[in-house]
A and B are shown apart, each in its own frame.
Chain A
Amino acid sequence: MSKWHISRRRMLKGLGASIALPFLQAMVPPGMSHYNMAKRPVRFACLFMPNGVNKYHWTPEKYGSDFELSKTLQPLANIRQEVLILNELMNKGSIFPGAEGHFAKTANIMTGYPIYKTMGENLNVGGISFDQLVAQHKGQDTPFDSLQFGTERINSGICGATGFTRLYGSSISWKTPTQPCSREIEPRMAFDRLFRNVVPNKKQKEQPWKRSVLDQVKEDADNLQRKLGRADQDKLEEYLESIRSVEKRIADEGKSKAFEEQITPAMKKELTALDIRIDEYNETYEGVDVTDKLRQMMDLMALAFWSDATRVSTFMFANSASNRNFSFIPGVHGSHHQISHHQNHDGPMEEYRKINEYYVAQYAYFLEKLQSIPDGEGTLLDNSMVMFASGLRDGNSHSPRNLPVLLGGRGGGGLKPGRNLNFKEETPLTNLYLSMARIMDIPMECFADSTGELCEIYS
């Protein structure tokens, strides 16, 4: 152990000069890297829950800071001072003729526009999603501009009844209006992508010729582009862009070295523990209780924020209309989507509520995890904005009005959490995005159908 410390220090010393240069360009004072600057960056995460909520037990009694947590929000008890409960926000983009079912209220939850009804030919969600917008502005200093996590494979097939490809139900992050981001759904693979070079015995094999290989295929793609028509060129552009992004990562060796070097022993300890936990889970776990898997994903997100591997992340607890079997919760017999169509019967309504509460508890877990990690002068949660949302209010009627939306964290001081806020009916959800952009100093006049900022959430 001590040996490692010495070599690390020596290495840092040696690297000093070469690291400083790129950061100088990024307007960081000499001798500092953004890793040791006092002002920590604000992180943004959006956690998506499918199928809406039991509307009778979601909204807390009383508004302002003196609110009483509703039954469903009880898991937030320890952390209520760090959360905003936002009522009466709606996604106007989810209301258009033909917007039946779930898909039209999922893919656009962060774009705010109506999606195009298609079985696959003309996927379009109207605009880029808010997380990707943040990634464009704030993702350039980190190894990954953003991360997209999920837990379920993309639903295959098309929905004959509503006329949408189910792909729409599995994507909330859109790099462009027509291109969804790929999600990681396996903790093992997600972990390795981010951290395999910083935990023991995982280091990737050297790829000394990677750049030459990439040059070669880029040349192939350029040649190909010349032979194609418009639509084909657009499609191949994805390839070129992906190649460029991989190239950028290897070109920026200094950055990834710097990233690896600033992994502290405390982070390393957590990473190693998580690494083992994932392996054990994969080897031994059988059953339907997904809690541990969800938490592995969220731990990864927390570690990615902590280590500054990224500052933007989204996580779909499950795909839209997910029929996850929740019989592992006492008092619940059946699956999520099915129960969400409760017909206002008391039994299913309560089961439905318990599932909502379950997801809120996972959200609370994530917030508490962030709170337990020091970051700058406060905690990681202080420097984060963690959104929790569903695209529906009531799953039975598929209503996209008064969405269940929570916002955790202090946004680096920009937010004043610990309150239950009621906005005017039909306030655009996009006003929230506009406000979060303001907190992150992203210059923006408006976002989709936004009509103004939610000044009430500011500190």
Chain B
Amino acid sequence: MFFFLGARAEVPMDKEPEEEINHVKVVQPIVEKHCFSCHHDTNRSGGISIKAFFMGLEDQFEDRIVRAGKLWMHIMDQVRSGEMPPAGEPRMTTEEQEELLNSVNVILTRSLNANNPGRVVIRRLSHNEYQYSIKQLTGVDFDAKSKFPADGSGGAGFDNFPSTLFLTPLKMERYYDAADEILDNAYASPELWKQLVPDTYRESLFRKFYNWAMRFLKGPEYGVERPVKAAEEIIMPFASNAFRRFLEPKERDSYISLFREVYLGTSSGNRFDLALLETFKAILISPNFLYRFEEEQPVNHPYALSAFELASRLSFFLWSSLPDKELYEVAYREDLHDPEILEAQVKRMLKDPKARRLSESISTQWFGITKLKEGSPVDPDRFPEFTPELREAMYQELVEYFHHVMTDSGNFLDLLDSDYTFLNETLANHYGISDVKGEELRKVNLSDRNRGGILGMGSVLTATSLPLRTSPVLRGKWVLEEILGTPAPPPPPDAGELSEEEAGAEDASIKDLLVLHRSKPECQSCHQKMDPIGFGLENFDPVGRWRDSYGKGEQIVAWDTLSTGEVFRSPAELKEILVDKKELFARNLTEKIFTYAIGRRVEFKDELFVKELMDNLLENDFDTESFMVALVSSYPFRYKVNDNAEKFRVLAKN
């Protein structure tokens, strides 16, 4: 402590060793002189604060620049072309300009070459992950989503994103209640309990009496060793499974002593079971169960995850749950980092029915149909035929389809267009397709090519409509964001009368809308990208049925030109155009699944990894298995790097 204080108070004694140039130190004075005056935190001309990169701890400046690498590339373009600093402001000297460009260039290139796997913040289990892990651990079905306060989502829009998963006092209370309820259920079911406690410890009547007598002689803990021994055999496998690793001796002792405490403090006949229940309860609310984390190694270079950590990443990614026995075994006995072994596991796990959770999680959140689970998004008076059964069938159609694409058809492009889908009788009737009987969803070949792929699905079409009518704007916006990954920017702050979301009154015709949007130049540039795509899907009504007219005789003309020049005359032709935009779709798909799998956003420094994964898609005809193997084998999935900021603060504090 004294040493630190002393060091801080004094002028640094030793001179900085002669090192390579500190490029941040080159950049800072130049931008300070030329950019800060407009681009500072409270002004943020153009929405950009350059000053913000150079505030706070100096050792973070470079990291910040790299994180915003794309922005800096843009800034350098502006500087290079002389657009910035703008006319009227003092120009940069040629020397300044060159130094600036060079140093930023070095910083950015260096980050790409650094092969930085990035790091993932410790994350709480999502409600899905909790539910499935509980199922695997205890056999109990627990509806976590309806019992826990909802989480938000972040990153690419998934609910397993570390920094949007909070723990609050309310949630802690719910975790406690949940553990209690889950274990009560397990205890109430002889079958489940037998799984958890194969050999329960029973005190014979004689033993009971003997122990009771001996306690007077030998103290109150006499005879507790046998049940404790028996309990240890039960608690350790449960805890190791819940924590996804072996317990340290210290941890084991503390859980055993919890058992002992409850056991000794309880007098009822089933105290062995009761003490186990309390111990299990502690395990189920322990941070070791509720949080996924990977231990930091005392090194300052990237390092491979431990075998168990990698197994966990794998199982939470593919199954939203804990590793199974085989995966633990492989992690323990073999080298999970070995490409062949890893590939074999990925293939095995994708074939397992549990992989459907991955399909459900990704597809429903990516394509934004989770709200179909929560209630009806359409007006029940206007659409009485939109029954809960239909809603459920729509939801399942997308999940079933995505899962089929992922595991059977093996081609991600099927998401955009195909000649099949999954229907039951209710949904088939809704689509006007006959000869599908019964509740079970099954694969059905489509004769009408307007329907195949997610753009022809009731779930997506309903989720992108308003309660009473379709919205070409919403549908177009959806395609730009979720399929092509090229969101239109929000309207300028003072767009005024014309709003970004919805134009036109209930009774305004679609044509009026078009005219309205194109009448203002500041709106036109973006709506020109959104509206035509939306019009291309106008043949589908607000609940996804086919229609040829709006009912009042006004024919629907799904004929338009995209802002990029392609012309289409039907939803089927629109889909063909989208399928051709392979690069955009490949990048979007990569970024989505990368973020879901790893738990952090794609950053500038990941550009090379992303490129590799994109190439994998483009070169292998969007092969799903090959992509999944490549993703799981990728450096960011299997490696991590330490948190550089103020390491081990807790230790330092002590």
Residues of A within 8 A of B (CB): 96-101, 118-123, 153-158, 160-162, 165-167, 170-171, 175, 179-185, 189, 193, 205, 207-210, 212-213, 216-217, 219-221, 223-233, 235-236, 238-239, 241-243, 245-246, 287-288, 323, 325, 327, 333-335, 337-338, 341-345, 347-348, 396-398
Task: For A122, give its contact among B163, B180, B493 (CB under 8 Å).
Answer: B163
Q: Are A397 and B287 touching (Cβ within 8 A)? A: no
Which of B1-9, B154-162, B218-226, B533-541 lies at the interface? B154-162
Q: Are B172 and A243 touching (Cβ within 8 A)? A: yes
Complexed CA–CA distance, A100 and B499 (Å): 11
Given A153-B150, A236-B122, verify A338-B172 contact (CB < 8 Å): no
**In the assembled complex, how far is the CB of residue B504 from the closest CB belonging to chain A, in whole angstroms?**
7
Complexed CA–CA distance, A209 and B646 (Å): 38
Interface string of B273-304 (1 = CB under 8 A from A): 00000100110011110110101100000000
Which A residues lie within 8 Å of B642 (CB)?
A: 229
Show 15 A/B contacts (Cβ-Cβ < 8 Å), sorted by A.
Answer: A120-B164, A121-B600, A167-B152, A171-B152, A179-B166, A209-B261, A212-B282, A216-B258, A228-B650, A239-B172, A325-B379, A334-B467, A337-B502, A341-B503, A343-B503
Q: Are A335 and B285 touching (Cβ within 8 A)? A: no
Which B residues lie within 8 Å of A239 (CB)?
A: 167, 172, 287, 290-291
With an 8 A cutoff between CB atoms, is B325 at the interface? no
Q: Are B287 and A338 touching (Cβ within 8 A)? A: no
Q: Are A99 and B650 touching (Cβ within 8 A)? A: no
> Which of B46, B147, B379 neighbours the largest number of chain A CB atoms within 10 Å of its CB?
B379
Given A180-B166, A182-B171, A246-B176, verify A101-B500 contact (CB < 8 Å): yes
- What 6 pairs between A and B have smallest CB-CB spacing? A120-B154, A229-B643, A167-B152, A160-B487, A242-B172, A100-B490
Complexed CA–CA distance, A398 and B500 (Å): 10
Q: Are B172 and A119 touching (Cβ within 8 A)? A: no
Task: For A343, give its contact among B261, B504, B600 (CB under 8 Å).
Answer: B504
**In the assembled complex, how far is the CB of residue A190 from the closest CB belonging to chain B, in whole angstroms?**
10
Q: Are A246 and B169 touching (Cβ within 8 A)? A: yes
A246 — nearest CB in chain B belongs to which residue? Answer: B172
Given A158-B156, A347-B506, A397-B496, verify A228-B122 contact (CB < 8 Å): yes
With an 8 A cutoff between CB atoms, is B168 at the interface? yes
Which B residues lie within 8 Å of A122 (CB)?
A: 163
A186 — nearest CB in chain B belongs to which residue? Answer: B146
**In the assembled complex, how far is the CB of residue A350 from the closest CB belonging to chain B, in whole angstroms?**
11
With an 8 A cutoff between CB atoms, is B647 at the interface? yes
Complexed CA–CA distance, A160 and B483 (Å): 12
**In the assembled complex, how far is the CB of residue A326 from the closest CB belonging to chain B, in whole angstroms?**
9
Q: Are A236 and B291 touching (Cβ within 8 A)? A: yes
Which A residues lie within 8 Å of B410 (CB)?
A: none
**In the assembled complex, how far is the CB of residue B572 from the closest CB belonging to chain A, in whole angstroms?**
26
Complexed CA–CA distance, A341 and B496 (Å): 11
Given A217-B285, A239-B167, verify A229-B651 contact (CB < 8 Å): no
Q: Are A97 and B168 touching (Cβ within 8 A)? A: no
With an 8 A cutoff between CB atoms, is B254 at the interface? yes
With an 8 A cutoff between CB atoms, is B488 at the interface? yes
**In the assembled complex, how far is the CB of residue A335 from the closest CB belonging to chain B, in whole angstroms?**
5
Q: Are A123 and B180 touching (Cβ within 8 A)? A: no
Number of B interface residues at 8 Å Cβ cutoff, please give it: 105
Which A residues lie within 8 Å of B198 (CB)?
A: none
Given A101-B490, A232-B122, verify A156-B159 contact (CB < 8 Å): yes
Complexed CA–CA distance, A144 and B505 (Å): 45
Task: For B278, give its contact among A118, A153, A193, A212 (CB under 8 Å).
Answer: A212
With an 8 A cutoff between CB atoms, is B18 at the interface? no
Q: Are B285 and A327 touching (Cβ within 8 A)? A: no
**In the assembled complex, how far is the CB of residue B131 from the closest CB belonging to chain A, in whole angstroms?**
16
> Which of A119, A123, A223, A288 neighbours the largest number of chain B CB atoms within 10 Å of its CB?
A119
Given A97-B47, A119-B601, A245-B169, verify A230-B645 contact (CB < 8 Å): yes
Task: For A154, give its contact among B151, B382, B480 (CB under 8 Å).
Answer: B151
Which A residues lie within 8 Å of B170 (CB)?
A: 181-182, 184, 193
Task: For B650, give its contact among A181, A225, A323 (CB under 8 Å).
Answer: A225
**In the assembled complex, how far is the CB of residue A224 from the closest CB belonging to chain B, in whole angstroms?**
5
Q: Are A209 and B490 touching (Cβ within 8 A)? A: no
Q: Are A233 and B649 touching (Cβ within 8 A)? A: yes
Interface residues of B in 344-361 (CB under 8 A from A): none
Complexed CA–CA distance, A239 and B180 (Å): 18
With an 8 A cutoff between CB atoms, is B56 at the interface? no
Which A residues lie within 8 Å of B466 (CB)?
A: 323, 334-335, 338
Which B residues lie within 8 Å of A221 (CB)?
A: 287
Interface residues of B in 235-281 (CB under 8 A from A): 250-251, 254-255, 258, 261-262, 265, 278, 281
Which B residues lie within 8 Å of A325 (CB)?
A: 379, 467
**In the assembled complex, how far is the CB of residue B606 from the closest CB belonging to chain A, in whole angstroms?**
14
Which B residues lie within 8 Å of A345 (CB)?
A: 505, 508
Given A157-B365, A242-B169, A341-B503, verify A229-B648 contact (CB < 8 Å): yes
Which B residues lie within 8 Å of A183 (CB)?
A: 149
Given A224-B288, A396-B497, verify A121-B163 contact (CB < 8 Å): yes
> Which of A101, A156, A223, A236 neighbours the largest number of chain B CB atoms within 10 Å of its CB?
A156
**In the assembled complex, how far is the CB of residue B286 from the closest CB belonging to chain A, in whole angstroms?**
5
Given A120-B161, A167-B164, A179-B166, verify A217-B500 contact (CB < 8 Å): no
Q: Are B505 and A217 touching (Cβ within 8 A)? A: no
Which B residues lie within 8 Å of A154 (CB)?
A: 150-152
Q: Are B647 and A123 touching (Cβ within 8 A)? A: no
With an 8 A cutoff between CB atoms, is B498 at the interface? yes
Complexed CA–CA distance, A235 and B45 (Å): 33
Q: Are A227 and B296 touching (Cβ within 8 A)? A: yes
A210 — nearest CB in chain B belongs to which residue? Answer: B176
Interface residues of B in 125-175 (CB under 8 A from A): 147, 149-157, 159, 161-164, 166-173
B248 — nearest CB in chain A belongs to which residue? Answer: A223
Q: Are B650 and A238 touching (Cβ within 8 A)? A: no
Given A100-B493, A226-B648, A347-B507, verify A161-B488 contact (CB < 8 Å): yes
Task: For A161, give its contact among B371, B377, B487, B494 (CB under 8 Å).
Answer: B487
**In the assembled complex, how far is the CB of residue B477 from the closest CB belonging to chain A, in whole angstroms?**
7
**In the assembled complex, how far is the CB of residue B210 from the closest CB belonging to chain A, in whole angstroms?**
27
Q: Are A96 and B44 touching (Cβ within 8 A)? A: yes
**In the assembled complex, how far is the CB of residue B560 from the closest CB belonging to chain A, in whole angstroms?**
21
**In the assembled complex, how far is the CB of residue A236 from the closest CB belonging to chain B, in whole angstroms?**
6
Complexed CA–CA distance, A175 and B166 (Å): 12
**In the assembled complex, how far is the CB of residue B348 from the closest CB belonging to chain A, in whole angstroms?**
31
Q: Are B287 and A224 touching (Cβ within 8 A)? A: yes
**In the assembled complex, how far is the CB of residue B430 from the closest CB belonging to chain A, in whole angstroms?**
21
**In the assembled complex, how far is the CB of residue A447 from the closest CB belonging to chain B, in whole angstroms?**
18
Which A residues lie within 8 Å of B258 (CB)?
A: 212-213, 216
With an 8 A cutoff between CB atoms, is B85 at the interface? no
Which A residues lie within 8 Å of B419 (CB)?
A: none
Task: For A153, give its contact among B122, B374, B496 (CB under 8 Å).
Answer: B374
Other A-B contacts than A185-B149, A242-B168, 16 sampled, CB-CB below 8 A, are A97-B45, A97-B48, A119-B156, A121-B163, A154-B152, A157-B368, A158-B154, A161-B477, A213-B278, A217-B285, A224-B287, A224-B291, A323-B377, A327-B379, A337-B502, A343-B498
Complexed CA–CA distance, A223 and B250 (Å): 10
Interface residues of B in 599-627 (CB under 8 A from A): 600-601
> Which of B168, B176, B480 neighbours the largest number of chain A CB atoms within 10 Å of its CB?
B168
Complexed CA–CA distance, A332 and B516 (Å): 23
With an 8 A cutoff between CB atoms, is B121 at the interface? yes
Q: Are A341 and B502 touching (Cβ within 8 A)? A: yes
Which B residues lie within 8 Å of A236 (CB)?
A: 122, 287, 291
Task: For B295, give its contact among A219, A227, A288 (CB under 8 Å).
Answer: A227
Which A residues lie within 8 Å of B103 (CB)?
A: none
Which B residues lie within 8 Å of A212 (CB)?
A: 258, 261-262, 278, 282
**In the assembled complex, how far is the CB of residue B294 from the closest CB belonging to chain A, in whole angstroms?**
9
Complexed CA–CA distance, A119 and B163 (Å): 10
Q: Are B153 and A228 touching (Cβ within 8 A)? A: no
Q: Are B47 and A98 touching (Cβ within 8 A)? A: yes
With an 8 A cutoff between CB atoms, is B227 at the interface? no
